[in-house]
């Protein structure tokens, strides 16, 4: 079991990937990128959708991806609940 803790700036969320050392970290790094927007430098799968639908969590005005587990994420009103 490996636990890593790091401070990452909100305005430029980048950190080095460990997937080249621990190949099993690839899955967690991809999930971290999709959910929090953290770019893991050195991971060849960054930028590709893995868990989320390609049309999900995209800003309609700018087309930029939104990250659903960040505290500043606004849940859209899709009219699914009464």
Q: How confident is the model at residue 48 (pLDDT cuts 50, 70, 90)?
A: confident
Element (H, E) at 26: helix 25-36
Estimate to the nearest angstrom the gap between the alpha carbon of 59 and the chain centroid: 15
Element (H, E) at 7: none
Q: How far apart are CA 66 and CA 60, in angstroms?
A: 10
Q: What is the mean pLDDT of the chain?
A: 87
Check residue 32 and give its pLDDT: 93
Estimate to the nearest angstrom the gap between the alpha carbon of 2 and the chain centroid: 20
Is 0.95 topped by the overall pTM? no
Q: How far apart are CA 35 and CA 47, in angstroms?
A: 12
Q: How far apart are CA 47 and CA 17, in angstroms?
A: 14
Whether the per-residue pLDDT at 54 is higher than 70: the answer is: yes
Whether the per-residue pLDDT at 50 is higher than 90: the answer is: no
What is the mean predicted confidence (pLDDT) over 35-62?
Answer: 88
């Amino acid at each position: 079991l490996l636990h890593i803790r790091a401070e990452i700036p909100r305005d430029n969320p980048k950190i080095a990937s460990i997937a080249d050392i621990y190949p099993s970290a690839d899955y967690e790094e991809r999930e971290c990128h999709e959910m929090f927007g953290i770019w893991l430098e050195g991971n060849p799968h960054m930028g590709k959708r893995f868990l989320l639908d390609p049309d999900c969590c995209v800003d309609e005005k700018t087309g930029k991806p939104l990250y659903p587990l960040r505290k500043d994420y606004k849940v859209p009103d899709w009219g699914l609940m009464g």
